């Protein structure tokens, strides 16, 4: 096992970038350019960093690393496995099965954070050397330099954001490992300090980021744009508890999508690819008047690079030889040959709403059949794994039937942020901004406005999923939820679960809720639903604040004496179970 300390020291003096891609042009001009990058090893510093193409080569390696198998698999497992969305599937490896049992030891390989620090180090390298190249290469303009720095800084902040949400306090390094002058045996920086710093970093560069790389280019979603900066800022401010700032950055993203929608209609006034739901432009599940649905799923998750995407990691698996055995989605969620992936969906989510109680999905909600495939009373994850979804709703019987086609190997783009995610962040921030009702349980005018705006965001997402364009048949009714902050919070969190299921979001949502509540009670009431046995023991184990975060890996503890293990994880007990 390679620790962070050993990794950084190993790469001092010489920049030996694993899978460092080379690009033949100063900037990416097509999807093919982006996906055709090839490795270059043992790059000597003094013979490199001389022209613009060198900067872009290492910049693209930052994206490559974030999209590596190790990073994407951790995005899935860190963000979902401990939540109420997932349970063990078919042939679940022991390392993952122990996570589902809430028996996470410091020896578990998924406690290793090196894949994200590799991305961070590459970003630090770009930030360090790009100004020197700009000074030497007149073709590398100041605007291009600032935009490049904005991409690297935002990617670095995103990597740190994953780390602090998973481990809480982490070592914070902003210098590349290029010489022996810096010691990388450093203490972990407090969660709040890192959060404040990465917020400040992205705020400082957001206006330098490119608004759009051009029309009809995948770079608008595969690379960091100004909207991606604002989406990340909205998410980070939501964790910080700065509701107004969160709303401000959400509004920027939503406004940009509104502009894109207007421009789309200017070109093709008859286009039905995107429609307005409560005024928000979203891809409909079905064309108007049609009972055949699945249009939104196929655009967002199958084809990728959709109108709704803000930032996604471009799949290049088919170009670098990924196979089913090392593809994260294929292993965890399933393929055409084996729909039963290593991870499954809990029974309570899979219940058929037409014949039994299902508190999460209505019978018209496309997402239940898009997210999960139910066979023999077991739930298998189909989101991302299915290459094509066709749903048919019968007005006569009220039943919905699905036809799913699976990828042989799922070369799908992993979505980090999309429009409905931002809409629901905005809804959450609005609810928190409104706060609690007074002693007389009456809402003030300001609270009513916040609640109604929040409800409109949630309702728009729900309407798209249920293929409803008018309010007459809605089951979501404002008066049923606008009774208190808690009921409105639950509405937002339930909709986030339905909409973003299996996208690496749910556990982080529950951690954020618990930190805000000051206890784990609501998180526990949701998570224990998936445990058919040992529920009381799990409830006790998950009752403390520290347990919300993962343990440091044993290798990191061995080489860095400044790291102190999360108190929720007993090191002595871990040793005995090796």
List domains and CATH numbers for the chain. 4-209 (1.25.40.390), 315-412 (no CATH)
The 3-class secondary structure across 78-124, one letter per residue, is HHHCCCCCCEECCCCCHHHHHHHCCCCCCCCHHHCCHHHHHHHHHHH
Instruction: Identify the residue with better confidence: 474 or 533.
Output: 533
Strand 38-40 relative to strand 414-418, pairing:
unpaired
3-state helix, strand, coil in the chain (%, to 5): 50, 10, 40
* Cα R_g (the chain), whole angstroms: 23
Instruction: Identify the residue with better confidence: 479 or 324.
Output: 479
pLDDT tens digits, 213-269: 988 789 999 999 999 999 999 999 999 999 999 999 999 999 999 999 999 999 999
For residue 275, give the 3-state DSSP assignment: strand
pLDDT tens digits, 48-82: 788 999 999 999 999 999 999 999 999 999 999 99
For residue 562, give the 3-state DSSP assignment: coil
Identify the band that residue 575 occupies on the pLDDT scale cut at 50, 70 and 90: very low
Q: What is the pTM of this model?
A: 0.91
pLDDT tens digits, 12-51: 433 433 333 333 333 333 333 333 333 333 344 556 788 9
Q: For helices 243-267 and 226-240, give the axis angle rounded to 10 degrees.
A: 150
Q: Which residues contact 134 (CB under 8 A, 6 or more apart)?
A: 140, 141, 142, 144, 145
CA distance 325 to 298: 24
């Amino acid at each position: 096992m390679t620790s962070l300390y050993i990794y950084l020291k190993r790469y001092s003096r010489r920049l030996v970038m694993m899978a460092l891609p080379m690009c033949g042009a100063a900037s990416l001009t097509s999807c093919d350019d982006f996906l055709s990058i090839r490795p270059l090893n043992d790059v000597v510093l003094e013979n490199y960093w001389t022209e613009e193409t060198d900067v872009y080569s290492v910049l693209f390696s930052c994206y490559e690393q974030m999209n590596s198998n190790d990073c994407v698999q951790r995005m899935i497992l860190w963000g979902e496995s401990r939540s109420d969305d997932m349970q063990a599937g078919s042939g679940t490896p022991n390392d993952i099965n122990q996570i589902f049992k809430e028996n996470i030891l410091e020896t578990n390989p998924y406690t290793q954070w090196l894949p994200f620090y590799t991305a961070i180090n590459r970003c630090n390298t770009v930030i360090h050397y790009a100004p020197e190249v700009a000074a030497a290469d007149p073709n590398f303009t100041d605007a291009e330099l600032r935009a490049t720095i904005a991409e690297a800084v935002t990617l670095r902040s995103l990597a740190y954001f994953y780390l602090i949400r998973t481990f809480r306090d982490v070592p914070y390094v902003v210098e590349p490992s290029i010489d022996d002058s810096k010691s990388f045996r450093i203490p972990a920086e407090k969660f709040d300090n890192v959060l404040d710093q990465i917020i400040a970093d992205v705020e400082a560069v957001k206006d330098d980021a490119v608004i759009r790389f051009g029309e009809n280019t995948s770079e608008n979603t595969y690379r960091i744009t100004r909207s991606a900066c604002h989406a990340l800022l909205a998410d980070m401010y939501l964790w910080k508890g700065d509701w107004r700032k969160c709303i401000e950055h959400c509004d920027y993203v939503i406004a940009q999508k509104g502009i894109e929608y207007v421009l789309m209609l200017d070109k093709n006034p008859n286009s039905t690819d995107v429609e307005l739901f409560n005024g928000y432009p979203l891809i409909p599940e079905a064309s108007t008047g049609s009972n055949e649905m699945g249009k939104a799923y196929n655009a967002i998750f199958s084809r990728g690079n959709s109108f709704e995407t803000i930032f996604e990691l471009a799949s290049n698996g088919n170009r670098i030889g990924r196979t089913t055995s090392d593809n994260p989605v294929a292993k965890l969620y399933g393929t055409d040959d084996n729909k039963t992936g290593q991870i499954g969906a809990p029974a309570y989510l899979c219940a058929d709403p037409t014949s039994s109680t299902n508190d999460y999905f209505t019978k018209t909600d496309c997402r239940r059949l898009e997210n999960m495939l139910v066979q023999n009373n077991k739930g298998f994850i189909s989101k991302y794994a299915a290459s094509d979804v066709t749903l048919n709703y019968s007005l006569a019987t009220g039943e919905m039937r699905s036809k799913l086609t699976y990828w042989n190997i799922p070369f799908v783009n992993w979505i980090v942020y999309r429009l409905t995610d931002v809409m629901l962040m905005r809804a959450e921030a609005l609810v928190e901004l409104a706060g609690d009702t007074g002693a007389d349980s009456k809402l003030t005018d300001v609270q009513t406005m916040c609640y109604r705006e929040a409800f409109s965001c949630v309702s728009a997402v729900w309407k798209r999923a249920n293929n409803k364009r008018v309010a007459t048949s809605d089951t979501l009714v404002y008066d049923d939820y606008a009774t208190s902050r808690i009921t409105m919070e639950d509405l937002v969190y339930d909709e986030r679960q339905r909409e973003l299921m299996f996208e690496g979001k749910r556990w982080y949502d529950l951690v954020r809720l618990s930190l805000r509540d000051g206890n784990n009670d609501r998180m526990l009431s949701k998570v224990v639903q998936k445990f058919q046995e040992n529920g009381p023991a799990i409830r006790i184990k998950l009752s403390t604040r520290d347990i919300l975060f993962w343990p440091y890996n044993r290798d990191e503890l061995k080489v860095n004496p400044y790291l102190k293990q999360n108190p929720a994880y007993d090191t002595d007990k871990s040793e005995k179970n090796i």
